[in-house]
Amino acid sequence: MNKQRLEELKKEYKKKIWIIITPDNEHWDEKFAQEEIDRLCKKWNVKAVSTSQTRDSGHGQERLFIVSGEPEAVKEYESELEEALY
């Protein structure tokens, strides 16, 4: 790996985000949630990597994602995703 790429990786901001993928109220399903995650990744030029960690928040099944990109883009991505899936 070259030095420039290492510097880019150091600058890349990462944040853990819990996303409800199957809500108790059944307003959407996991397929729709993944489509929204992917759509907003493209819009904000961020990456959202699903982990194997899940939890039940009392509102539905959540999955932990690691979102990476420019700090402001990650913030906007998270905000818009909350509007889309909550």
Question: pLDDT digit of tens for each residue in the chain (86 aa)?
Answer: 567 765 665 567 999 999 999 999 888 899 999 999 999 999 999 999 999 999 997 889 999 999 999 999 999 999 999 999 87
Q: Name the strand (E) or helix (H) holding 38.
A: helix 30-44
- Rounded Cα distance, 70 and 11, in Å: 8
- Is residue 20 within 8 Å of 53, Cβ to Cβ? no
Map residue 25 onto helix, strand or coil. Answer: coil
Q: Does the model's pTM come out above 0.85? A: no
Kindly state the DSSP code that residue 27 receives in the 8-state scheme.
S
pLDDT of residue 12: 76
Collect all residues with Cβ–Cβ distance below 8 Å to 81 and sequence separation of at least 6: 17, 19, 36, 37, 40
